[in-house]
Amino acid sequence: MDNESIVLLSRREIEKMRQAGQLAARLLTYLEPMVKPGVSTLELNDAAEAWTQKHGAKSAPLGYHGFPKSICTSINEVVCHGIPHAKQILREGDIINIDVTPIVDGYHGDTSRMFFVGDPSPMARRLVEVTEECLYRGIAAATPGGRIGDIGAAIQECAEASGFSVVRDFVGHGVSRIFHTAPQVPHYGTRGKGKKLRPGMVFTIEPMINEGTWEVEILSDKWTAVTKDGKLSAQVEHTIAITEAGVDILTLHPDLVPANA
């Protein structure tokens, strides 16, 4: 995907991306009250699929490069791409990432959040808080005229200042009518390096931050990425647009968007 060129989206296309992004945010809010001990990740998946269809959208992950379900559910040491399963039951104290990507009128809204199952450990809570902080630092660094490396540098500093590490094996990505396209957006790096950020660029920022080592392993299902040391991992994701004025978060829940924005 790195020798593809970066497509700049028109204002009209960015509004289409916002429609998809807001539906994605609403889907996470819909799922939130279901995240309780005793619920299976398949139940979350099936609720997400039904809600998505009811709203006239399609689940991009389903069948994507053979992915078998509609959402990704990544618990505790799972870094990303966890596959929902009937036998995988949420337990008190778990942390879980739910990653959704509805397609609305051809455009992808890609976002994920962390949820607490009951009352996780202080370490788990801190990891999640820092990961959210890292995402917002990365978004704040995404300004027109800046560079892709500014984003990763901001995220890496935020994570490492708290003693955590940044996953290298998965990156943010351009997203539009295509699920994953240029540019690649690493969550680590060097300020001033990488492609220039220009108005009309639309991409995700989705840092995966680990309690211990940044190294990951892929399980035999060929999808589930886990931490090599079995320690915790957290991830949060927004889809953003670079505008003349700065940065526009397209996957904010509509209730969180100021009316005059």
User: Left (φ > 0), alpha (ψ -120 to 50) or beta: where does 149 sit?
Assistant: alpha
| CA geometry: angle 145, 149, 250, nearest 5 deg | 65
User: 82 φ, ψ to 5°?
Assistant: -65, 140
- Single out the residue of 16, 18, 26, 81 in contact with ligand MF3 (rule: CB under 6 A): 81
- As given in the structure block, the two tokens for residue 81 are 């791409």
Bridge partners (DSSP) of residue 217 are 226
By the rule CB under 5 A, 99 interacts with Co ion: yes
Site string for ligand MF3, 6-35 (x = CB under 6 A): ------------------------------
- Give CA–CA dist 158/165, Å, rounded: 10
- As given in the structure block, the two tokens for residue 223 are 């999808």
> Which of the listed partners (ligand MF3, Co ion, none) does 82 bind, with a CB threshold of 5 to 8 Å by partner kind?
none
* Choices 57-65, 88-96, 124-132, 253-261; region in contact with ligand MF3 by CB under 6 A: 57-65
> Which of the listed partners (ligand MF3, Co ion, none) does 30 bind, with a CB threshold of 5 to 8 Å by partner kind?
none
By the rule CB under 5 A, 204 interacts with Co ion: yes
Judged by beta carbon, residue 144 or residue 216, the one nearer ligand MF3 is 216
* Total residue length of the chain: 261
> Which of the listed partners (ligand MF3, Co ion, none) does 61 bind, with a CB threshold of 5 to 8 Å by partner kind?
ligand MF3
Question: Helix (H, G, I), strand (E, B), or coil: what is residue 52?
Answer: helix
Q: How far is the CB of 99 from ligand MF3 (least distance, A)?
A: 4
- Single out the residue of 13, 94, 150, 206 in contact with ligand MF3 (rule: CB under 6 A): 206
- Find the helix or strand (DSSP H, E) in which 127 lies: helix 122-140
By the rule CB under 6 A, 251 interacts with ligand MF3: no
Q: Which residues of the chain form contacts with ligand MF3 (CB under 6 A)?
A: 61, 64-65, 67, 72, 81, 99, 101, 110, 204, 206, 237
